[in-house]
Structure 1
């Protein structure tokens, strides 16, 4: 689930915060949903552990 989206300046255009129950759900969300958007050329995933 997308928690927040921030426009940023520099190398990247957006920071999208996603919350997922497990790594498989996160992977599916990024690969099947975010990367399927035509204008998205690349993604970088950073995982925060609470």
Structure 2
């Protein structure tokens, strides 16, 4: 196996096993935080209290 193939495999492994899961967690956590902040300011969803 030449060096270019090894480097390509290492890069793919890093992307697939480290970077993509970390980015997915960051995106989901960021969305959850945004929803939390909106609800903190505007109140929970639903009809207004009578």
**Would you call these one fold, judging by a TM-score over 0.5?**
no
Of structures 1 and 2, the larger Rg is shown by 2
Q: Structure 1 or 2: larger strand share?
A: 1
Q: Structure 1 or 2: larger helix share?
A: 2
Q: TM-score, length-normalised on structure 1?
A: 0.34
Choose between structure 1 and 2 for higher RCO, CA contacts under 8 A separated by at least 6 residues.
1
Q: TM-score, length-normalised on structure 2?
A: 0.34
